[in-house]
């Protein structure tokens, strides 16, 4: 009934939201809260997609798109985190600037009713912007910091392709938890007509797991066992401005890779590598001045580590999540099974660093 204001369709809700008080839950509080928040945000994205109109998307200062779904997903996750962990910091991608001003009232109202359509305790008009802006923490090297991408791969979302809701908990510079909701990702890539909607959970020292949105049953996931990079399937961004497709093609050819790359938006790339559907993920700098954001990598990074892989930058340095909102000392990302990561890095260094 809360949806009347938006007219958004509530009939495509397939997610069975994890219950906070589910007794047999094997997850700790921080894990249950993060899963619950990501599933509710995923639900918003699923139900809004069919109804999106042009005016639901705004172009930000950096010329990237943001939609009502990104804002309401961030509001929902921030609200749920704050209810249980009021002292934790949040580094979230979005801020409320675009929702302010008289000409943005309609947009703001849509964001509010969408958020409230999945929240148990609704936000009021005055709370919305502050709740979104709770994601403005500068980050840093101590304490509990959540890294949130309310929609990673907004361009993929708008195309009806891959995107994800990414949430990670960083404690004293180390990622302890990663939760990724991928509403458009096939549960099994080999069954294209099959079910879509996957939730990934990685807990430091405990492994990486996948759930279907339609069930709370989990399966542990691992990278595919691979001994030679030549047999690898590699994935990279759809968007050539985000990752150099030319450099990736050269690296692949040097490694003897013959399979064409899998183009996919968002941290879904980390997910498909983590569960063994692809073997390598390359994000290769296009611009020297671009700093990667922590919310674009933190959840994916722990997922890969817990599934048996290695994540580094192109210089083979681990990603450093303790330096603020961006990965100031890292360039690009190279993900692969621990057995072949070294070989991939060797070729990356020969080809990219010497150009
Ligand atoms: N220049 C540049 N270089 C690298 N990455 C960039 C760049 N510009 C943007 N972004 C971020 O890429 C996020 C989407 O990921 P993609 O799957 O398109 O690309 S990538 O694999 O991360 O390169 C996308 O995240 P969302 O904005 O959440 O969609 C951007 O934060
Ligand atoms: Mg964005
Ligand atoms: Mg992103
Ligand atoms: Mg985003």
Q: What is the pLDDT of residues 107-143, one digit of tens each?
A: 999 999 999 999 999 999 999 999 999 999 999 999 9
Is residue 129 within 8 A of residue 39, CB to CB? The reply is no
pLDDT of residue 22: 52
Q: Is the same domain home to 216 and 260?
A: no
Distances (CA, A) of 354 to 246, 308, 346, 347, 349: 15, 30, 12, 11, 7
pLDDT attached to residue 6: 42
Judge if 246 and 186 occupy the same domain.
no
Partnered with residue 262 across adjacent β-strands are 235
Residues in contact with 223: Cβ distance below 8 Å, sequence separation at least 6, in sequence order = 273, 274, 276, 279, 304, 307, 308, 309, 337
Report the alpha-carbon distance of residue 83 to residue 246 in Å, rounded.
46
Domain-terminating residue out of 220, 244, 261: 220
Residues 51 and 95 in one domain: yes
281-313: pLDDT as tens digits: 999 999 999 999 999 999 999 999 999 999 999
Residue 260 sits in the same domain as residue 183: no
Consult the annotation and say whether 15 binds a ligand: no
247 lines ligand 1 (CB under 6 A): no
pLDDT of residue 21: 53
Q: Determine whether 109 is exposed, middle or buried from the number of CB atoms within 10 Å of its CB (0-12, 13-18, 19+).
A: middle
Question: Is ligand 1 within 6 A of the CB of residue 70?
Answer: no
pLDDT in tens, 43-81: 999 999 989 999 999 999 999 999 999 999 999 999 999
* 272 has pLDDT over 90: yes
Supply the CATH number for residue 78's domain.
3.30.540.10
Q: Does 13 have pLDDT greater than 50?
A: no
For residues 138 and 295, give the distance between their C-alpha atoms in angstroms, rounded to a whole number. 12
CA-angle at 231, arms to 230 and 237, nearest 5°: 90
Tell me whether residue 154 is one of the annotated catalytic residues. yes
What residues sit around ligand 4, an ion, with C-beta below 5 angstroms? 93, 149, 151-152
Distance CA 147, CA 306 (A): 18
Instruction: Measure CA 123 to chain center.
Output: 24
Q: For 149-177, how does the pLDDT look when each residue is reduced to its tens digit (9 = 90+)?
A: 999 999 999 999 999 999 999 999 999 99
Answering whether pTM is above 0.90, one says: yes
Q: How does 159-193 read in b/e, with b if 16+ C-beta sit within 10 Å?
A: eebbbbbbbbbbeeeebbbbbbbbbbbbbeeeeee
21 in a known ligand binding site:
no
Cα distance between residue 265 and residue 276, in whole Å: 17
- The answer on 158 and 93 residing in a single domain is yes
Q: Are residues 107 and 147 in the same domain?
A: yes
How many angstroms does the Cα of residue 148 sit away from the middle of ligand 2? 11
> Which of 178, 145, 146, 144 lies closest to 164 in space, CA to CA?
178
Q: Are 175 and 290 part of one and the same domain?
A: no
Helix count and strand count (H, E) for the chain:
9, 14
Mean pLDDT across the chain, nearest whole number?
93
Structure confidence at residue 336 (pLDDT)? 98
Same domain, 280 and 144: no
Q: Which of 56, 67, 70, 131 is catalytic?
A: 70
Q: Which of 197, 220, 243 is the last residue of a domain?
A: 220
For ligand 1, whether the C-beta of 162 sits within 6 Å is: no
b vs e for 285-311, b when ≥16 Cβ sit within 10 Å of the residue's Cβ?
bbeeeeebbbbbbbbbbbbbbbbbbbb
Give the model's confidence band at 26: pLDDT under 50 very low, under 70 low, under 90 confident, else very high. Answer: confident
User: Rounded to the nearest 5°, which phi and psi values hold at 29?
Assistant: -55, -50
CATH code, 298: 3.40.190.80
Boundaries of domain holding 128: 2-220
Q: Are residues 56 and 203 in the same domain?
A: yes
| pLDDT exceeds 70 at position 242 | yes
Within this chain, do residues 108 and 143 fall inside the same structural domain, yes or no?
yes
Residue 16 has pLDDT above 60, yes or no: no
Statement to judge: residues 140 and 69 lie in one domain: yes
Predicted confidence band at 216 (pLDDT cuts at 50, 70, 90)?
confident
Q: How many domains does the chain have?
A: 2
Q: What is the pLDDT of residue 161?
A: 97
CA distance 163 to 65: 13
Q: From 200, 220, 240, give the residue that closes a domain.
A: 220
Question: What ipTM was reported for this prediction?
Answer: 0.92
The CA-based angle 319-324-327, given to 5 degrees, is: 30
Whether residue 193 is found in the same domain as residue 56: yes
Kindly state if the Cβ of 214 falls inside 6 Å of ligand 1: no
The answer to whether residue 4 scores a pLDDT higher than 50 is no
* Neighbouring residues of 69: CB distance < 8 A, sequence distance ≥ 6: 44, 45, 48, 49, 52, 56, 114, 150, 151, 157
Sign of the CA dihedral running 280, 270, 316, 350: positive
């Amino acid at each position: 009934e809360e949806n009347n204001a938006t007219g958004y369709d509530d009939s495509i809700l397939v997610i069975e939201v994890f219950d906070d008080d589910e007794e047999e839950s094997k997850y700790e509080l921080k894990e249950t809260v993060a899963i619950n928040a990501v599933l509710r945000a995923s639900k918003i994205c699923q139900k809004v997609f069919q109804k999106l109109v042009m005016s639901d998307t705004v172009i930000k200062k950096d010329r990237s798109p943001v939609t009502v779904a990104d804002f309401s997903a961030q509001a929902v996750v921030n609200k749920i985190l704050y209810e249980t962990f009021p002292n934790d910091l949040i580094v979230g991608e979005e801020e409320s600037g675009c929702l302010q001003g008289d000409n943005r009232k309609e947009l703001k109202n849509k964001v509010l009713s969408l958020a409230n359509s999945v929240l148990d305790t609704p936000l009021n008009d005055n709370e919305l912007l502050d709740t979104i802006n709770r994601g403005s923490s500068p980050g840093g090297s101590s304490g509990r910091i959540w890294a949130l991408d309310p929609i990673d791969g907004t361009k993929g979302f708008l195309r009806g392709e891959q995107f994800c809701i990414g949430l990670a908990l960083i404690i004293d510079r180390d990622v302890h938890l990663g939760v990724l909701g991928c509403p458009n990702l096939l549960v099994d890539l080999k069954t294209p007509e099959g079910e879509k909607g996957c939730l990934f959970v990685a807990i430091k020292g405990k492994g990486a797991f996948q759930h279907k949105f339609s069930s709370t049953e989990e399966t542990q996931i691992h990278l595919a066992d691979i001994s030679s990079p030549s047999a690898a399937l590699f994935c990279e961004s759809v968007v050539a401005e985000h990752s150099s497709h030319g450099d990736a093609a050269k690296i692949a050819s040097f490694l003897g890779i013959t399979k064409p790359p899998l183009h996919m938006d968002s941290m879904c790339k980390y997910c498909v590598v983590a569960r063994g559907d692809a073997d390598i993920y390359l994000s290769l700098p296009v611009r020297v001045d671009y700093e990667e954001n922590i919310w674009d990598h933190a959840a994916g990074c722990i997922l890969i580590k817990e599934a048996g892989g290695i994540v580094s930058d192109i210089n083979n340095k681990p990603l450093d999540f303790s330096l603020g909102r961006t990965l100031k000392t890292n360039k690009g990302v190279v993900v692969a099974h621990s057995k072949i990561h070294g070989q991939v890095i060797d070729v990356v260094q020969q080809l990219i660093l010497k150009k």
